[in-house]
């Protein structure tokens, strides 16, 4: 048996050495998805922001939720929209202030959206027309029963959490308020992520947007996110587009692709985010710059699809620039506190740097080449893998010579 091993071992090692270079070549040839530069994504965001600024209707009286969401995204895009902000706040003042009382349709989430807009526009949310909006915001959460919170539209919950988190220092009992919102998010959980009339790319992407720090600190949210990431990838197509689900919209569409882009970028799936970004751009309409269609089959602008695409673009841009997610306003609140000592600085929700407070997008931040998203991006890991395989290949070449030498020596010993 020992003699058999000695005879076969050199041949076995030689085979392994010959295989290793082929494995190395296979890995070296695997294409890597390149993240867009800030310049290129800023170009897309500016075009879409300009389109929405002139075509979308912001009317807080008739549609507070969608008007507020769009205005927040426009503010985060960097485009100058001060006229829209003034009009929005005027609408709120005329429609929701009566007899010295601020009455919003849905206090739990409406207070959140209004506080976010006030903060992003550099105004004091603790003194809006004589009202301490933040105090009213906390009261609405603290006095609401858990069942009421659990029935909130889940697409609003990440924004509710982000606003409450930003004003942690101004809440008397922020821990209780944040815990109640977290329970509400988890009430929509199942094995595939967020279950809201079923599971879909849209549900997972938009409901879990901007909650990366919560997934790090809470194991239950992390489990939810992990399940959502696994399920959403089953709907991802080879061209980067995403199906909506397996039942109601089992076909690629821009809304689901934008949601997937938001999900993957929020939770560090950098290659998948870059792939989804490329897929999303295939829905740009040819006739209207900045507009997006619902499907590639019909090249027709869709306001609903364009807003979702805008959501995905602004969220992805924040990740690429290492900045806070669009609805996470702790960074802006911190900058306001410099000129308003009564406001205390709170921690930034994202793990990135503080966002630039400039009114317009700074397109000179980087050259028009692909960038590495963060130190833990796939490109860094792939570089390490390539180094390992290079070393193995080098060793394998030496191994071939070594085995050849051993076989020659064996023949010489036999001849002797």
**Structure confidence by residue, pLDDT tens digits, 12-65:** 433 434 333 443 333 334 456 799 999 999 999 999 999 999 999 999 999 999
Sequence-distant (≥ 6) Cβ neighbours of residue 131 within 8 angstroms: 97, 102
Model confidence band, residue 374 (pLDDT cutoffs 50, 70, 90): very low
Q: What percent of the chain has pLDDT over 70?
A: 73
Q: What are phi and psi of 333, to 5 degrees?
A: -60, -40
End-to-end CA distance of the chain: 24
**Closest Cα partner for 336 from 182, 129, 122, 157?**
122
Mean pLDDT, to the nearest integer, of 109-128?
A: 96
Whether the model clears a pTM of 0.85, i.e. scores above it, the answer is no
Task: Evaluate if residue 341 carries a pLDDT over 80.
Answer: no
Task: Round to whole Å and give the CA distance between 58 and 66.
Answer: 8
Going by DSSP bridges, is the β-strand pair 242-243/193-194 parallel, antiparallel, or unpaired? unpaired
Angle between helices 157-166 and 133-143 (to 10 degrees): 120
Identify the pLDDT of residue 397. Answer: 43
| pLDDT for residue 24 | 36
Q: Torsions phi, psi of 252, nearest 5?
A: -65, 135
Residue 165 structure tokens:
């988190």
Mean pLDDT to the nearest integer, 314-328: 96
pLDDT digits (tens, 9 = 90+) for 157-211: 999 999 999 999 999 999 999 999 999 999 999 999 999 999 999 999 999 999 9
Q: For the chain, how many residues are written?
A: 416
Task: Give CA–CA dist 222/215, Å, rounded.
Answer: 4
CATH number assigned to the domain with residue range 38-376, chosen from the 4 options 1.10.150, 3.30.450, 1.50.10, 1.10.287 = 1.50.10
Buried/exposed 251-262: b ≥16 CB within 10 Å, e otherwise: ebbbbbbbbbbb
Token pair belonging to 321: 């620039």
Q: Which of 74, 78, 101 has the alpha carbon at shortest distance from 88?
A: 74
Residue ranges per domain, the chain? 2-29+380-415, 38-376
Q: What are the structure tokens assigned to 367, written together? A: 């050259």
Does the structure show a pLDDT above 80 at 290? yes
User: Which has the closest alpha carbon to 301: 43, 54, 69, 36?
Assistant: 54
User: For residue 267, which of 407, 129, 395, 376 has the smallest C-alpha distance?
Assistant: 376
pLDDT at 382 over 50: no
User: For residue 28, what is the enclosing H or E element?
Assistant: helix 2-28
Name the pLDDT band for 331 (thresholds 50, 70, 90).
confident
SS3 190: strand
Mean pLDDT over 329-352 rounds to: 54
pLDDT of 55 reads: 93
Alpha helix locations (H) across 208-269?
Answer: 212-217, 219-233, 254-266
46-75 as b/e: b if 16+ CB within 10 A: bbbbebbbeebebebeeebbbbbbbbbbbb
Please check the confidence at residue 250 and state whether its pLDDT lies above 90: yes
């Amino acid at each position: 048996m020992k003699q058999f091993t000695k005879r076969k071992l050199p041949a076995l090692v030689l085979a392994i050495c010959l295989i290793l270079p082929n494995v190395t070549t296979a890995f070296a040839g695997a294409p890597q998805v390149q993240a867009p530069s800030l310049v290129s994504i800023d170009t897309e965001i500016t075009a879409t922001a300009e389109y929405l600024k002139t075509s979308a209707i912001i009317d807080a009286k008739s549609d507070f939720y969608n008007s507020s969401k769009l205005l927040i995204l426009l503010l985060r895009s960097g485009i100058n929209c001060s006229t829209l902000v003034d009009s929005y706040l005027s609408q709120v003042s005329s429609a929701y202030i009566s007899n010295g009382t601020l009455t919003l349709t849905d206090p739990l989430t409406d207070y959140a959206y209004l506080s976010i807009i006030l903060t992003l526009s550099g105004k004091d949310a603790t003194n809006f027309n004589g009202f301490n909006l933040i105090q009213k915001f906390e009261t609405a959460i603290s006095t609401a029963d858990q069942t009421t919170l659990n029935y909130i539209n889940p697409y609003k919950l990440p924004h509710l959490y982000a606003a409450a988190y930003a004003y942690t220092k101004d809440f008397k009992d922020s821990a209780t308020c944040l815990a109640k919102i977290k329970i509400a998010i988890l009430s929509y959980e199942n094995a595939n992520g967020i279950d809201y009339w079923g599971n879909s790319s849209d549900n997972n992407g938009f409901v879990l947007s901007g909650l990366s720090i919560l997934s790090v600190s809470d194991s239950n949210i992390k489990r939810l996110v992990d399940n959502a990431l696994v399920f959403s990838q089953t709907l991802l197509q080879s061209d980067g587009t995403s199906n909506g689900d397996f039942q109601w919209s089992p076909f690629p569409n821009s809304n689901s692709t934008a949601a997937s882009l938001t999900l993957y970028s929020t939770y560090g799936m950098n290659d998948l985010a870059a792939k989804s970004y490329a897929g999303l751009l295939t829905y740009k309409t040819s006739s209207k710059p900045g507009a997006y269609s619902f499907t590639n089959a019909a090249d027709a602008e869709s306001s609903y699809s364009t807003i979702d695409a805008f959501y995905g673009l602004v969220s992805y841009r924040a990740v690429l620039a290492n900045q806070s997610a669009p609805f996470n306003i702790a960074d802006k609140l911190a900058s306001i506190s410099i000129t308003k000592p009564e406001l205390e600085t709170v921690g930034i929700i994202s793990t990135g740097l503080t966002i630039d407070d400039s009114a317009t997008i700074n397109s000179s931040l980087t050259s028009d080449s692909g960038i590495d998203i963060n130190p833990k991006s796939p490109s860094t890991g792939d570089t390490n893998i390539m180094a390992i395989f290079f070393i193995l290949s080098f060793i394998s070449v030496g191994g071939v010579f070594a085995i050849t030498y051993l076989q020659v020596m064996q023949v010489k010993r036999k001849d002797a």
